Amino acid sequence: MISRVFLDIETAPVAETDPAWLHWLAVQDRDVRAPGNLKDPEKIAAAIAEKRAALAGERDRTTLDPMLGSIVAIGVALDGGPVTVLHGTDERALLLELAAWLPDASVRFVGHNVGGFDGPWIQARAYRHGLRHLAHRFGVPGCKPWDRPLEDTRDLWPCRDVRGLDPVRGVNGASLPSLCRFLGIDVADDDITGADVAAALARGDVEAVVEHCRRDVERVRAVYALLTGW
């Protein structure tokens, strides 16, 4: 029987001094213009400064971009075993730690949006660090989506609807906490969400990030078990 690795990752934004980020800013800055109806030099300068500040604010959103952001925590559990959270600021070392943790035998990776986020992120960052063997654990280049060793609880949920997201009913992929509440799965709330990870890291609260990652792995395993009878 193939084992399952229950998985969740946490990501951080690109560093302000990262050359890739500075290059992105420089490219975007070429198109910064003041509205054409402004004639006053001070108002023009203020408008340009405002647009540049907005560009700089985009750095927080690089937690969603695997070509700029980075992985800072990886929560894993093999079948019914304990949850392990690998974490650190040296991303290559972190990914090598994951590669060493994974069993040699084939596994299936289970996560909430693992097909749209966690899996692709690990693959992209593994390629970035020359860790092709790890990237291929999540699917070889050119393979069909159904051939990837992934099971996504967001896709298993019957209320998924390709017409779009309904934040009230939670169709098209209900959030993991909302699924747990709806299904009566008792995993205690934690102090942060994925959106708070960057701020927690900025204030040095690594433990909050680790605990959030740990509980998300527990949540996804509980949801998977309830939906599939695993």
Q: What is the pLDDT of residue 47?
A: 64
d(CA 196, CA 209): 9
Q: What is the pLDDT of residue 78?
A: 98
Q: What is the pLDDT of residue 171?
A: 47
Distance of CA 131 to the CA centre of its chain: 19
Instruction: Tell which residue, 93, 84, 104, 121, has the closest CA to residue 217.
Output: 84
Q: What is the pLDDT of residue 60?
A: 85
Q: What is the pLDDT of residue 178?
A: 83
Q: What is the pLDDT of residue 36?
A: 62
Residue ranges in the chain whose pLDDT is less than 70: 29-48, 55-56, 160-173
Helix (H) or strand (E) holding 12: strand 3-12
Instruction: Tell which residue, 204, 194, 222, has the closest CA to residue 118.
Output: 194
Q: What is the pLDDT of residue 187?
A: 74
Q: What is the pLDDT of residue 168?
A: 52
d(CA 223, CA 155): 12
For 119-162, the pLDDT digits (tens) are 999 999 999 999 999 999 999 988 888 889 999 999 898 876 54
